[in-house]
Amino acid sequence: MRLKTLLLIVLVFVTAHGAAALEYVMVATQNTCLLFKVSGKKRLEQLYFGEKLKNAEELKMVNLPTSAAYSTFGTDHTFEAALRAVQLDGNTSTELVYVSSRTEKKSDNLVQTIVSLKDAYYALNVDMYFNAYQKEDVIEQWSVITNNQTKNVTLHNFASSDLSFSASSYYVTQFCGTWADEMNMKEQRLTEGIKIIDSKLGVRTNQFTHPCFLLSLGQEARENDGKVIGGTLAWPGSFQFCFEVDPYKNLRVLSGMNPYASTYTLEKGKSLKTPALLYTYSDAGTGLVSRRFHTWARQYGLKNGNGERSILLNNWEATYFDFDEPKLTQIIDDAAKMGFELFLLDDGWFGNKYPRNDDDAGLGDWQTNTKKLPNGIPYLINECHKRGLKFGIWVEPEMVNPKSELYEKHPDWIITQPNREMLTQRNQLLLDLSNPKVQEFVYNSIDKILTDNPGIDYVKWDCNRYITNSGSQYLPAAKQSHLWIDNAAAILAVMEKVAAKYPKVCFMECSGGGGRMDYGSMKYFDEFWISDNGDPLQRLFTQWGGQYFFPAIGMASHVSVSPNHISGRSTPLKFRFDIAMAAKLGMDLQPVQMTETDKEFSKNAIQTYKDIRSTVLLGDLYRILSPYEHNRTAYMYVSADKKDAVLFNFLVRKRIYPDNENVVLKGLDPQKHYTVREINRESYNNRSRFSEYEGKTFSGDYLMAVGLTFSMQNEYESVVIRIREE
């Protein structure tokens, strides 16, 4: 009702005062407001972005500082521009003026605003789109640039959003790393000049830097207080965030596709739609940012975001490429006895002329390897289903090995530069999805696998390299720079088509780990693989970073072998289980590799996870102790009704003396009374670390004011506590 009233006030104001009066455009959620003003020169300017006021009319009573809502390169080009274009006659400037705006209530929760701008002289139009998700306080913003001129227009910059801020200081947190070391958090203060966070990889773009950021105003980012903006770009291609502080300490943030090497020719009558920036404003620190994104993602950002998730057993670390039907059947049988719900057949099941016995052959030849699997995939599906298990399969449809039938038939389908050495990664090449025939092949490959093998319940979609030798044998010479945009847009189109045809099949998004964690592609996937590194100590940091924007229900985390195949580190089974149970549980460790004691522990842990699964996957996340700042880390999930919670504690750094840091809980109902019990319990001298509290009942008020104090001392120690209303 508040939004409707404010929009009505704006409409009455404009109507009563005529065309000469100032116009305002507001994008609002339940708790935030983004307000624009149309200046006397018909320029659209950002007036305010922040906490929603009870009376937004007060923002119009004085001349507050403003900034361009969508800046352009033109007569004044002092700073970076959201849009830089060359007009049909060679004019390198663009000057956008306001045309109109309209707002439509798409649902009870979604209000869409479209602001139309055009060049003051040329027929170049920009429509700015805003989806305001009311309950989640998330804004989704993108632009559509349309060439209505008689000749082509060349685009050099094409941002999705252009946001401005004014504060005493600015701190930006980026999420970076590399393969097996993803989502590390780095915070720095912004000074005058430009800070760029970007990827130029084209595919698997998150390998080094992830398309998300935290921006804290006036102080370093804190968990429970302070003004913070969280933003993430919904795009699987090259991206760029540009943070520019001017000499007057004002900050502008440009977000969108990376313009690097991506000059785009817009033909007459054609449009370019930019990917969406998703962002939220919090005046209560980063914790609220995360909870808003998680709530939004479960409803809008993930396929089946509130649906069931199965506990799977993967054969990869047990067999790699070396398996046959008897070996797989034994794994399937073991999985059923252990309490798993799904068996995933990983890489190596395909290729006949060039069998997939290693990573150097077979990619692109999506026919079942008859030597390994003489009875085909249906045999394995049946073996799973008759034991009450679901069946999943691995694919990497965008890739091809030079040693494959596909490459022999279509060497013109790969991304490569002429007259240059052919560069491979993991012995493979990228298919050029700017080519419609390649798009059709990729879709048909997945479609045929699922059609020929009815009963597949789960698909792991992998992507193990990025673009090098960025040449398209399909695109004409003048449009080679389109590859970076067209390839990413094409893979999204294929993903959308697959998801639409197979809504009940669960899809996992994998990219050699967390190389494709973005909400552009994730809306077609049920879950994502955040890292190939299953070392639980590394996972503490990877999952900690990932949770800032992505919910646990999508974050697949597996119990791995020990010593870990990547780090070589040996860790206790309990420690590995506890970190995997803090997200969506799966397992690569095989029952045949376990002792009887470990098997019993694993069975019990799997059953325990089934009991806490809904709270972990659907609950609100509260971070308590950061692994970057403390010797232990602690965080908890609280169910929506606040009747159930799970607290995870991990010792990150062992010291000579025990770590006795107090853990003050969050998110509970102070009026409720909760019984606390340790799960996945281990004993130390026949006494749990948590014995002082075990089975006792405390008020939510006590737990959130006084907290819990218990010792953690041993290397790779973890304590998980169930907190339930009595």
pLDDT for res 443: 98
Flag whether pLDDT at 103 surpasses 70.
Answer: yes
Let me know whether 317 and 277 are in one domain.
no
Half-sphere exposure of 308 (CA within 13 A, CB side): 11
* Alpha carbon separation from 314 to 173, 197, 326, 345, 660 (Å, rounded): 34, 35, 16, 6, 37
List residues with catalytic annotation. Answer: 462, 532
**21-40 confidence digits (pLDDT tens):** 679 999 999 999 999 999 98
Alpha carbon distance 244, 569 (integer Å):
42
| CATH number of the domain bearing residue 48 | 2.70.98.60
- Using left for φ > 0, alpha for ψ between -120 and 50, and beta otherwise, residue 568 falls in left
Model confidence band, residue 76 (pLDDT cutoffs 50, 70, 90): confident
In a domain, 74, yes or no: yes
DSSP-assigned letter for residue 267? -
Let me know whether 80 and 185 are in one domain.
yes
Alpha carbon distance 555, 527 (integer Å):
6
In a domain, 16, yes or no: yes
DSSP-assigned letter for residue 300? I
Alpha carbon distance 630, 641 (integer Å):
30
Q: In sequence order, which residues have a C-beta less than 8 Å from that of residue 714 and are 6 or more positions away? A: 651, 654, 684
Alpha carbon 726 to its chain centroid, in Å, reads: 36
Boundary-marking domain end, from 443, 476, 504: 504
Q: Which residues pair with 146 in a beta bridge?
A: 125, 271
Alpha carbon distance 177, 397 (integer Å):
25
pLDDT for res 125: 98
E runs forming strands in 52-160: 67-68, 83-86, 96-105, 110-119, 124-133, 138-147, 153-158
Number of domains in the chain: 3
Let me know whether 355 and 485 are in one domain.
yes
Let me know whether 89 and 211 are in one domain.
yes
Let me know whether 280 and 400 are in one domain.
no
Let me know whether 46 and 193 are in one domain.
yes
pLDDT for res 726: 86
The pLDDT mean for the chain works out to 95
Token pair for 19: 């065309």
Closest CA to 601 of 571, 575, 583, 568: 575
**139-194 confidence digits (pLDDT tens):** 999 999 999 999 999 999 999 999 999 999 999 999 999 999 999 999 999 999 99
Flag whether pLDDT at 18 surpasses 60.
Answer: no
Alpha carbon distance 441, 268 (integer Å):
30
Let me know whether 136 and 194 are in one domain.
yes
In a domain, 520, yes or no: no
| CATH number of the domain bearing residue 685 | 2.60.40.1180
pLDDT for res 496: 98
**310-330 confidence digits (pLDDT tens):** 999 999 988 999 999 999 999
Alpha carbon distance 47, 725 (integer Å):
47
pLDDT for res 684: 56
Alpha carbon 138 to its chain centroid, in Å, reads: 15
Boundary-marking domain end, from 504, 531, 566: 504
Alpha carbon distance 128, 602 (integer Å):
52
Flag whether pLDDT at 3 surpasses 70.
Answer: no
**463-519 confidence digits (pLDDT tens):** 999 999 999 999 999 999 999 999 999 999 999 999 999 999 999 999 988 999 999
**Domain range enclosing 231:** 2-285
**234-244 confidence digits (pLDDT tens):** 999 999 999 99
Alpha carbon distance 660, 631 (integer Å):
10
Flag whether pLDDT at 95 surpasses 70.
Answer: yes
Model confidence band, residue 14 (pLDDT cutoffs 50, 70, 90): very low
Flag whether pLDDT at 689 surpasses 70.
Answer: yes
8 A C-beta contact, residue 723 and residue 668: yes
pTM: 0.95
In a domain, 234, yes or no: yes
In a domain, 160, yes or no: yes
pLDDT for res 710: 95
Boundary-marking domain end, from 468, 488, 504: 504
**607-658 confidence digits (pLDDT tens):** 999 999 999 999 999 999 999 999 999 999 999 999 999 999 999 999 999 9
Token pair for 193: 């000049």
Let me know whether 70 and 161 are in one domain.
yes
In a domain, 514, yes or no: no
**272-295 confidence digits (pLDDT tens):** 999 999 999 999 999 999 999 999
Let me know whether 275 and 345 are in one domain.
no
Token pair for 391: 């069946």
**527-575 confidence digits (pLDDT tens):** 999 999 999 999 999 999 999 999 999 999 999 999 999 999 999 999 9
Burial of 361-396, coded b for 16+ CB within 10 Å and e otherwise, reads bbbbbbbbbeebbeebbbebbebbeeeebbbbbbbb
Let me know whether 165 and 130 are in one domain.
yes
Let me know whether 317 and 269 are in one domain.
no
| Number of residues that make up the chain | 726
Let me know whether 423 and 467 are in one domain.
yes
Flag whether pLDDT at 688 surpasses 90.
Answer: no
pLDDT for res 687: 65
| CATH number of the domain bearing residue 465 | 3.20.20.70
Among the listed ranges 13-22, 417-426, 493-502, 518-527, which one has the minimum average pLDDT value? 13-22
SS3 (DSSP) at 566: coil
- Using left for φ > 0, alpha for ψ between -120 and 50, and beta otherwise, residue 185 falls in beta
Alpha carbon distance 205, 654 (integer Å):
35
The percentage of residues in the chain with a pLDDT greater than 70, rounded to a whole number, is 96
In a domain, 616, yes or no: no
In a domain, 198, yes or no: yes
* Alpha carbon separation from 263 to 119, 156, 433, 503 (Å, rounded): 20, 5, 18, 36
Burial class (CB in 10 A: 0-12, 13-18, 19+), 25: buried
Peptide bond into 355 cis (omega under 30): no
Model confidence band, residue 4 (pLDDT cutoffs 50, 70, 90): very low
